[in-house]
Amino acid sequence: MESLSKALRISLIQMKIGKNKLENITHACNSIRKTVEKDKPKVVALPECFNSPYGTKYFNEYAENIPDGDTSKALANIAKELNVFLIGGTIPERDNSDNKLYNTCTIWSPSGDLIAKYRKMHLFDIDVKGGIRFKESETLSAGNKLAFLELDGFKIGIGICYDIRFEELARIYRNNGCDMLLYPAAFNMTTGPLHWELLQRARANDLQLFVATVSPARDVSSEYVAWGHSMVVDPWAKIVRSAQDGEETIVADLDTTLVQKVREQIPVSKQRRLELYDTISKFDKQN
C-alpha cells in the first residue's frame, strides 16, 4: 500500500442470526459500534437476511417497509451516530405499492440518509439432488435496478448472494466504473464448499476489481445452515481477508490504486473484441 490516503478500510460483520427480530437488530448495531470504535473503518457491511431467519416461511412475517420500518430506522440511527457508511446487509422488504416482498440491501450515509437500495435480482431457486432444495420465488419477487456506493472516486456495486453467479451483471457493474463488488450472501453447506471462494476469485480475476462477501455466521441448529467464511478478494484474485465459520468481524485496508494498476498491467478490458461480442445493458431502457 503506497499511503494511507489511498486506503479504504472496510469491516465485514459475520454474525449469528436468531428468530427474535429485535435481538438481531440490536446485535447488529452493537457489532457495528464495536468495530467502528475499535477499527475505525469508513465502511461497515452486514450479512444477508440479518434481521430474520433465512427461509421462505419467515420472509412475510419479518418483512418491513423501507425506510420506515424498525430495521431501517435502527440502521439510519447507528450510521449517523458513528459517522460511518453502512451497507445494511439485506432484509425482507415489503413494498406496499405493489404488495410484493423483496430481498433488499440498503446503503446509509454517515448522516443517516438512505443512499440507495438494491433488490436481489436473481432469485435463489435450486434443487441439488442429495444436497439442498430452496425456492426464493415462492415468496419473493426479483429486483431490476443497480445500486452503488461512491467514496472519493472508489465505486462499489451491490449484489446479493446468488447474483454472484451471473457474470453479466458483474460486468455491467464493471462497465459502470465499479472498483469493487460487494455481496451480502448466505451460501449453504452444499454450495459453500464448492463455489464460495471460486466465484469470488473468478469475478475478481475476470473484471479486475475487489470482491467482498458478508455471510451470516454458521449456526448448525438453524434450519438453513450458512457456510460462513466472509471474504475480501483483491483485483489479482488473491484473498486479502477471510473469516472462519463462527461470529467474526474481518477488517481490510483496500489499496484503492490497485484496481488501476492491475488493469494497466493486464489490459484485458481494452483487448476485448467488442466488434465480435459484448455484454449489453438494458438498465437504461428500463429505468
**Which residues participate in catalysis according to the annotation?**
48, 120, 161
From the number of C-beta atoms within 10 Å of its C-beta (0-12, 13-18, 19+), residue 130 rates as exposed
Closest CA to 182 of 4, 11, 35: 11
The radius of gyration of the chain from alpha carbons, rounded to an integer in Å, stands at 18
CA pair distance 240, 231, nearest whole angstrom:
8
CA pair distance 127, 254, nearest whole angstrom:
37
CA pair distance 60, 215, nearest whole angstrom:
21
CA pair distance 199, 38, nearest whole angstrom:
31
Is the distance from CB of 51 to CB of 21 less than 8 angstroms? yes
CA pair distance 272, 81, nearest whole angstrom:
46
* Measured CA distances, 14 to 45, 192, 206, 249 (Å): 9, 15, 26, 6
From the number of C-beta atoms within 10 Å of its C-beta (0-12, 13-18, 19+), residue 65 rates as middle
DSSP 228: -
3-state secondary structure of 205: helix
* Measured CA distances, 279 to 70, 113, 166 (Å): 39, 33, 12
